[in-house]
């Protein structure tokens, strides 16, 4: 992925040196979750994350891994609270869809996460399933985006 200038901010592949900045906008990592911090470092080191940034710094990040039935899976989408409702999440999703190397790109979110569900619908993702038992009392909704089909129409 090359640097994409998307208006007010730029989306680019994360570098290992970005990990501290990503921790700085990730509420779970900031609360001291050692596993999340380690994941952020690994995602940056392995080139799995993309970041959105402007002159003030990192606005959000998105991670795609290819371990979900050998298809792309958006493992994490995080937007800094101060950057929400500015199109950051939508553009991060568009960027990872454009660079996805598999025919299908999946993600999931809890039933309780209404803002993420609305974002996924606006970004052209469709619901494909529901899994109970991951988070007690809050089922996980799975979504699908077909990146290559979208590119074929462009």
- Tell me how far apart the alpha carbons of residues 16 and 46 are, in angstroms, rounded to a whole number: 8
Q: What is the domain extent for residue 83?
A: 4-152
- Give the Cα-Cα-Cα angle 63, 64, 69 (nearest 5 degrees): 145
Q: How many domains does the chain divide into? A: 1
Number of helices (H) and strands (E) in the chain: give both, helices first.
Answer: 6, 8
Report the alpha-carbon distance of residue 40 to residue 22 in Å, rounded.
7
- Specify whether the CB–CB gap between 98 and 147 falls below 8 A: yes
Q: What is the full per-residue pLDDT of the chain (154 aa) written as tens digits? A: 445 544 588 999 999 999 999 999 999 999 999 999 999 999 999 999 999 999 989 999 999 999 999 999 999 999 999 899 889 999 999 999 999 999 999 999 999 999 999 999 999 999 999 999 999 999 999 999 976 554 444 4
Q: How far apart are CA 66 and CA 49, in angstroms?
A: 12
Here the CATH number for the domain that contains residue 43 is 3.40.630.30
| Cβ 39 vs Cβ 46: under 8 Å | no
């Amino acid at each position: 992925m090359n640097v994409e200038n998307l208006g007010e901010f730029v989306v680019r592949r994360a570098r290992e040196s970005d990990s501290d900045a990503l921790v700085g906008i990730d509420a779970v990592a900031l609360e001291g979750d050692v596993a999340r911090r380690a994941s952020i470092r690994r995602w940056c080191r392995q080139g799995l994350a993309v970041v959105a940034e402007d002159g003030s710094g990192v606005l959000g990040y998105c991670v795609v891994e290819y371990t979900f039935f050998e298809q792309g899976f958006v493992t994490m989408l995080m937007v800094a609270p101060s950057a929400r409702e500015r199109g950051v999440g939508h553009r991060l999703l568009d960027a990872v869809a454009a660079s996805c190397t598999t025919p299908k790109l999946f993600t999931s979110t809890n039933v309780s996460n209404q803002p993420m569900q609305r974002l996924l619908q606006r970004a052209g993702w469709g619901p494909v399933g529901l899994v109970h038992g991951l988070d007690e009392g809050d089922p996980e909704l799975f979504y699908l985006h077909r990146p290559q089909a979208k590119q074929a129409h462009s």
